[in-house]
Every structure is written in structure tokens, then in C-alpha cells.
Amino acid sequence: MESHANRTSWTFLTNHARVLSVIARDPDVRLRDVALTCRLTERAVQTIVSDLETAGYLTHERAGRRNRYQITPDTRLRHPAEANSTVEALLRVWDQEPRTASAEAGNPA
């Protein structure tokens, strides 16, 4: 039987969620920088951005030589289990600082 310590191949978030989060934090970000942040290839990020645009999660417009991205906050999440949640709700939860028990008690972490 495999131990819990050996199961490190899964993550909580998809690459699509990671890319969307990075773009939400900086709408003027270069895809090269998204790739570095998410530890993906530029080509993978281009494909993910295309997927997100096709599905209506974001749009982009040219600003000189760069793209400026805009998240479509009211777009519903795709999976039936999350269909009642929006992109905005997901990003709001994701961007919150984690609170530790000591911080909640008024003590610095």
C-alpha cells in the first residue's frame, strides 16, 4: 500500500485556475511571466488563455505591443459541483490571506 508521503503528483488547483489567478492579479502581465509564475511553458499558457477566452472567462485587447486581459467575473464555473459559483467568488476566496489560529486570537503568526 502506498503511503501518503509518496502521493505528491496531485494538486488542489488546475493550471487553468492558476493562469486565471495570475492574470486577475495583473491584467497587463505578459504570458511569458505567467508561464514562469505557473511553472508552465509559454505554449501551454497560450493554450490555456485561449481555452479561457473561448469559454468566456476572460477577454483581451491590444494595448500597443501588449495585451490587456479582463476577467469576466460573473461567469459560472464549469463543473456541475461548482456551477453555482462564479469566477469572481473563486478568485475572492483564493486571494484571501490564510488565517492561523494564533492570528485569529489576536496574536501575530
Per-domain residue ranges of the chain? 12-76+83-92
The pairing of strands 66-71 and 58-63 is antiparallel
What per-residue confidence (pLDDT) applies to 22? 95
3-state secondary structure string across the chain: CCCHHHCCCCCCCCHHHHHHHHHHHCCCCCHHHHHHHHCCCHHHHHHHHHHHHHCCCEEEEEECCEEEEEECCCCECCCHHHCCCEHHHHHHHHCCCCCCHHHHCCCCC
Rounded Cα distance, 52 and 78, in Å: 11
Angle at 8 between CA 76 and CA 45, to 5 degrees: 45
What per-residue confidence (pLDDT) applies to 1? 53
Across the chain, which has 109 residues, the per-10-residue mean pLDDT values are 63 91 95 97 98 96 93 92 90 68 48
Give me the architecture of the 12-76+83-92 domain, per CATH.
Answer: Orthogonal Bundle (1.10)
What per-residue confidence (pLDDT) applies to 83? 86
What per-residue confidence (pLDDT) applies to 63? 87
What per-residue confidence (pLDDT) applies to 109? 43
